[in-house]
Amino acid sequence: MPPVDVSEVSPASSPVSARAPQAVLFVCGMNAVRSPMASALARHHFGRSVYVTSAGVRHGEVDPFAISVMREVGLDISEHQPRSLEELADTSFDLIVTLAPEAHHKTLELTRTMAVDVEYWPTADPTVVQGSRDRILDAYRAVRDGLLKRIRERLSTTSASSD
């Protein structure tokens, strides 16, 4: 399956939220693969109208496969520095999207007294895939392309003013 060109994907029809988020946080286990990919994709499409960042439950290491598949669509995440939820300077988010079960549980625990929407988008962990380099890259591409689709659907209410 060829990679998705991030500049050519049009927003899918989805219910329009009453209020579009102005600040979005993506959270995964180690802030090394899924959440940096999601934040780069969202920033690429909505960066002028939505503040986007990412964090993890724990610290991870920069992932070369994630860097590679993001470069395929013209996005560079090689300078990403993984950080944990505790390291966030600001927690004023309208929407927090969790991409892994442990991230969802931790986020719900941290936000139980906050006025914030938390959404869980179950996203496969491509780091567990074994086999050839091509097979591993295909797993990362599937994550990237799935995140792009969800991001465009969820945040499309803000695209009219930024596209």
Q: Which domains does the chain have, with CATH numbers?
A: 27-155 (3.40.50.2300)
- pLDDT of 57 over the 50 cut: yes
- pLDDT of 72 over the 90 cut: yes
Q: What is the mean pLDDT of residues 96-117?
A: 94
Q: Percent of the chain at pLDDT above 90?
A: 69
Position 90 scores a pLDDT of 80
| Pairing, β 23-28 against β 51-56 | parallel
The H or E element spanning position 98 is: strand 95-98
Position 84 scores a pLDDT of 94
Split at pLDDT 50, 70, 90, the class of 1 is: very low
Position 32 scores a pLDDT of 96
Position 13 scores a pLDDT of 34
Position 19 scores a pLDDT of 63
Distance set, CA 88 to CA 31, 41, 51, 92 (Å): 12, 20, 14, 10
DSSP class of 110: H
Position 157 scores a pLDDT of 61
Between residues 49 and 127, which one has the greater pLDDT? 127
